[in-house]
Structures are given as structure tokens and as C-alpha cells.
């Protein structure tokens, strides 16, 4: 097991029992750090059986990274897109790629007219778009690579209180009903981190998904397609698993990152 992280700090309490922490010195959209990581992995002459793309940020202030990319789209999608495409030689022959999306994809489809939010930034729309991108990435990746033995899935891990909420104020989380005025959990549908990891591990390992791909999962199962206009945030929106949208996103991502090739 190899864990690709920004840095190992003294505050990190987790250390893998059978694996390696690999600091890369930059956020995922810094393509140079992705390339350095991939070169280090390729030097090991190993085959990778599964990859879980889980790095992400949520509802941050407007931030530009790289050549002016909107930070949530870049961090949550483009970095993973570049990483997986560069890892392809050691995935072929049998692997699963897990793209951690979110029920937050219900907030927004792709903003094709302004993917980088240059005409006006709204943090939740940008987050929703990035999570839709995660699901679409799995759809087209699976379509392109399944004949090489690589299958891809996306998923909603559940609502979990973690540092993902670092950009939200207490007032915002109280207003959302997530916590109470004292900071205690108020929404009992939230999961523990261990419960939140369950669907990711399930999607990466379960034989129930053998021979399948391009699916969106939740609660250790394949999600149903949400009805148009359904605001329950259950299931997956049609636009997040639409093959034409997925191909369009792949081509845009290939143009932006210089990897993957237009398909």
C-alpha cells in the first residue's frame, strides 16, 4: 500500500502497517509533483491492483492554482485525472480505480460555459461541479480502459465530520443542521470516518462488482438513478453518469493537463 500525501507532519497519527507514505510537496493539481510521484512508483516495477482517489477540498474561498484553474475543480478532479493517466502502464491487466465523489454532485452539473468560474465564483456550485466531474471521470475511464482490465467506479462516502469542513464557519454548519451551537454533532445521519471509508473499500474489493464498471455507489451498494428534480441527495443524478458528458469532460481534462489524450 502506498499513500500519496502532501507531507508527513508530526501531527500525523496514522502510519500504514504494510505500506509507505509518500510526500509529494504540493497539492494534487501541481502536475510536476504528480509526475515525480508516478516516476517513483514506476521505478518500483510493481503492478497496482486498486487506486482510491480521495484527496479533495470543499467550499473554499475563490482560489486559483496552476495556470489559473479553479481550485476545487483542479484539486478534486484534474489532479486525479493526471495521476491515473500516468499510472496506466501499471494498472493495465487488472485494477480498479475508485473516484470519491459525493452526494454534493446533486448541487451542480458541469458549468460548461464557465468551468473555471471566471465570470463569478460560488463555492458550493464549484464544489458540486467538481463532484460531478469525479463521477463522470469514472464513467469514461471505464469505457476507455475496460478492455485493458481496468474498471472504474465513483461513490458517495457519506456525510462525515473531518477537516474537509475547514473552510466552513461554525455558523454555517449550525445553519446546515450539522452541529449544534456547542459544536456537537446534531445530524445523526453523519457517519464516522471508518463508516465513511466502508464504501470506498467495498467498491475497491467486492466481487459483487466483478465484470461491472462506470457505476456510482453509496452505502456499499450500486446507487439508483435519482428522479429529475429529486432534492433528497439520494442516488446519482443522470447528468453525473451521462456518457456524452463524460467524454466531453475527458477531452477538456486532457487538453488542460496534457495527458490522457482526447477520446
| pLDDT, tens digit (0-9, with 9 covering 90-100), for 219-259 | 999 999 999 888 899 999 999 999 999 999 999 999 999 99
Mean model confidence pLDDT for the chain: 91
Q: Is 127 a catalytic residue?
A: yes
Nearest CA to 83 out of 117, 115, 40 is that of: 40
Q: Rounded CA gap, 70 and 241, in Å? A: 23
Q: Rounded CA gap, 245 and 87, in Å? A: 24
Query: 57-112: per-residue pLDDT in tens?
Result: 999 999 999 999 999 999 999 999 999 999 999 999 999 999 999 999 999 999 99
Q: 0.85 exceeded by the pTM? A: yes
All residues at 6 or more sequence positions from 255 whose CB lies less than 8 Å from its CB, including other chains: 262
Asked if 15 and 21 touch (Cβ cutoff 8 Å), the reply is: yes
pLDDT at 160 over 70: yes
Per-residue pLDDT band at 261 (split at 50, 70, 90): confident
CB atoms within 10 A of CB 202: 18
121, 127, 216, 239: the active-site residue: 127
Per-residue pLDDT band at 10 (split at 50, 70, 90): very low
Amino acid at each position: 500500500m502506498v499513500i500519496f500525501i502532501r507531507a508527513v507532519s508530526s501531527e500525523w497519527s496514522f502510519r500504514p502497517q504494510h505500506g509507505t507514505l509518500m510526500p509529494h510537496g504540493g497539492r494534487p493539481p501541481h502536475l510536476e509533483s504528480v509526475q515525480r510521484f508516478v516516476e517513483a512508483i514506476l521505478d518500483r516495477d510493481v503492478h497496482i491492483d486498486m487506486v482510491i482517489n480521495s484527496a479533495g477540498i470543499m467550499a473554499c474561498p475563490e482560489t486559483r492554482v496552476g495556470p489559473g484553474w479553479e481550485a476545487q475543480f483542479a484539486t478534486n478532479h484534474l489532479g486525479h485525472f493526471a495521476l491515473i493517466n500516468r499510472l496506466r502502464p501499471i494498472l493495465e491487466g487488472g485494477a480498479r480505480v475508485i473516484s470519491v465523489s459525493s452526494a454534493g454532485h446533486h448541487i451542480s452539473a458541469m458549468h460548461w460555459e464557465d468551468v473555471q468560474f471566471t465570470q463569478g465564483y460560488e463555492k458550493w456550485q464549484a464544489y458540486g461541479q467538481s463532484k460531478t466531474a469525479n463521477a463522470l471521470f469514472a464513467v469514461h475511464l471505464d469505457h476507455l480502459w475496460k478492455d485493458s482490465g481496468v474498471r472504474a467506479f465513483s461513490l458517495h462516502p457519506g456525510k462525515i465530520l473531518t477537516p474537509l469542513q475547514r473552510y466552513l464557519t461554525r455558523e454555517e454548519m449550525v445553519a446546515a443542521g450539522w452541529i449544534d451551537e456547542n459544536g456537537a454533532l446534531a445530524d445523526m445521519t453523519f457517519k464516522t470516518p471508518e463508516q465513511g471509508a466502508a464504501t470506498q473499500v467495498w467498491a475497491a474489493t467486492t466481487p459483487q462488482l466483478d465484470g461491472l464498471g462506470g457505476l456510482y455507489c453509496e452505502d456499499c451498494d450500486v446507487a439508483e438513478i435519482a428522479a429529475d428534480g429529486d432534492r433528497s441527495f439520494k442516488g446519482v443524478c443522470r447528468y453525473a453518469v451521462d456518457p456524452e458528458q463524460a467524454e466531453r469532460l475527458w477531452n477538456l481534462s486532457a487538453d488542460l493537463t496534457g495527458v490522457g489524450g482526447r477520446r
